Chain A
Amino acid sequence: NAGVMQNPRHLVRRRGQEARLRCSPMKGHSHVYWYRQLPEEGLKFMVYLQKENIIDESGMPKERFSAEFPKEGPSILRIQQVVRGDSAAYFCASSPGKGSLEQYFGPGTRLTVL
């Protein structure tokens, strides 16, 4: 049973470009969470999605960031017009839902903005 998959593992962008981060949840999981981790800091919640729905985006910056989890395909975290402060590790986690609160994390995407 494959775990949570994220790609790319490393992404380099210049200021002003767009970054697209992908997350494929574990088989049978319909809930996806995105987190950001800055160097020497803890994980910060960004957004919680179920298939085709954003459930909680209270941790997502209002500008330039968006997330989706379509009926088919992976969840996408999109960052428009990236700035140096966006450089971080972005992790997604999936959960089966149905009363289970346990999250299983992917390996992360390390975004570097030049």
Chain B
Amino acid sequence: EDQVTQSPEALRLQEGESSSLNCSYTVSGLRGLFWYRQDPGKGPEFLFTLYSAGEEKEKERLKATLTKKESFLHITAPKPEDSATYLCAVRLYGQNFVFGPGTRLSVLP
């Protein structure tokens, strides 16, 4: 069964305290891995797409990396405005996407 898991479920950081979020997947055919940010009461906001192992993407304080079995979202020197739920999703060789349950990040000032 195609499955996407994320860890930790929740993470509290002090402002400036760097950390990483994990997304692990077991799928039969991967066409891409996606990271989104979701604020309460809003739709997910697209962050990154990764297609092959070894690929990396960066945007401001965020950096996403991909291996054959997992992806990491590294957050460097986070600020309170980075607080959100971070979702990863995989696109299968069919047409649909499978989303993980998300990591709720809180960055305290």
Task: Name A's B-contacting residues (CB within 8 A).
Answer: 4, 33, 35, 41-45, 48, 55-56, 58-59, 91, 93, 101-108
Question: How far is B43's CA from A107's CA once the two chains are assembled, in angstroms?
Answer: 4
Question: Is B54's CB within 8 Å of the partner chain A?
Answer: no
Instruction: Find out whether the CB atom of A42 lies under 8 angstroms from the CB atom of B87.
Output: yes
- Closest beta carbon of chain B to A91's beta carbon, Å: 5
Task: Name B's A-contacting residues (CB within 8 A).
Answer: 31-32, 34, 36, 42-46, 49, 87, 89, 91, 94-102
Question: How far is B100's CA from A42's CA once the two chains are assembled, in angstroms?
Answer: 6
The 5 closest A-B pairs by CB, nearest first: A105-B43, A56-B95, A43-B99, A42-B101, A45-B96
Instruction: Find out whether the CB atom of B49 lies under 8 angstroms from the CB atom of A101.
Output: yes
- Closest beta carbon of chain B to A15's beta carbon, Å: 25
Are A104 and B97 also in contact (CB < 8 A) when A42-B87, A42-B102, A43-B87 are? no
* Contact residue among B43, B96, B99, B102 (Cβ-Cβ distance under 8 Å from A56): B96
Question: How far is B52's CA from A34's CA once the two chains are assembled, in angstroms?
Answer: 26
Give the chain A neighbours of B101 by CB distance below 8 A.
41-42
Question: How far is B92's CA from A59's CA once the two chains are assembled, in angstroms?
Answer: 14
Instruction: Find out whether the CB atom of B91 lies under 8 angstroms from the CB atom of A101.
Output: yes
Instruction: Find out whether the CB atom of A42 lies under 8 angstroms from the CB atom of B99.
Output: yes
Give the chain A neighbours of B32 by CB distance below 8 A.
101
**Sample of 6 more A-B contacts, CB < 8 Å, known A43-B99, A44-B99, A105-B46:** A4-B43, A45-B98, A58-B96, A93-B43, A101-B31, A103-B97
Instruction: Find out whether the CB atom of B34 lies under 8 angstroms from the CB atom of A103.
Output: yes
Question: How far is B15's CA from A58's CA once the two chains are assembled, in angstroms?
Answer: 42
Tell me which of B42, B44, B87, B102 has the highest count of chain A C-beta atoms within 10 A of its own C-beta.
B44
Q: Which residue of B lies closest to A31 (CB)?
A: B95
Instruction: Find out whether the CB atom of A91 lies under 8 angstroms from the CB atom of B49.
Output: no
Question: What are 15 of the A-B contact pairs (CB < 8 Å)?
Answer: A33-B96, A41-B101, A42-B99, A42-B101, A42-B102, A43-B89, A43-B99, A45-B96, A45-B97, A45-B98, A56-B95, A56-B96, A58-B94, A102-B34, A106-B43
Give the chain B neighbours of A58 by CB distance below 8 A.
94, 96
